[in-house]
Amino acid sequence: MQTLTQALLRHHAGAKSYWRGLAYRGAVVELVIRSRHVDGVVVGADPYRVSLTWRDTHLAGTCSCPYGTQGFFCKHCVAVGLVLLERGLTVPPPDAEDEELRDRLAALDHATLVELLYDRACADRALYDEVMRVRG
């Protein structure tokens, strides 16, 4: 597993977005570390929602800004990553126990769980195959 560093952020964003992200550190208005990812809000022309997570050993960032919605690791992702580093924090590992999700699922009624899983399995062939293999 890689570690979150300034060099890693620069590698994913490229020099231009990295340097622009440095200027946006003060625009990070919300930062929530979840079980397996980090969510943040960065105020630019609009408030943009950012998520940082590890996919296998690679850092992945998503952002609701126009550049981020095209799949790029934008300045807002960089800003959230830099604020994490400044606070001595990091992006949790992808295999961390997600107690928040487990508790939320446990609180849902059976019919709601069935509908959620059905909808996802219809759209995801690998999940569909996994559900069909489970004996229950």
pLDDT, tens only, 7-41: 999 999 999 999 999 999 999 999 999 988 999 99
Q: What is the pTM of this model?
A: 0.74
Backbone angles phi, psi at 32, to 5 degrees: -125, 120
Tally of CB atoms within 10 A around 63: 27
Average pLDDT, the chain: 91
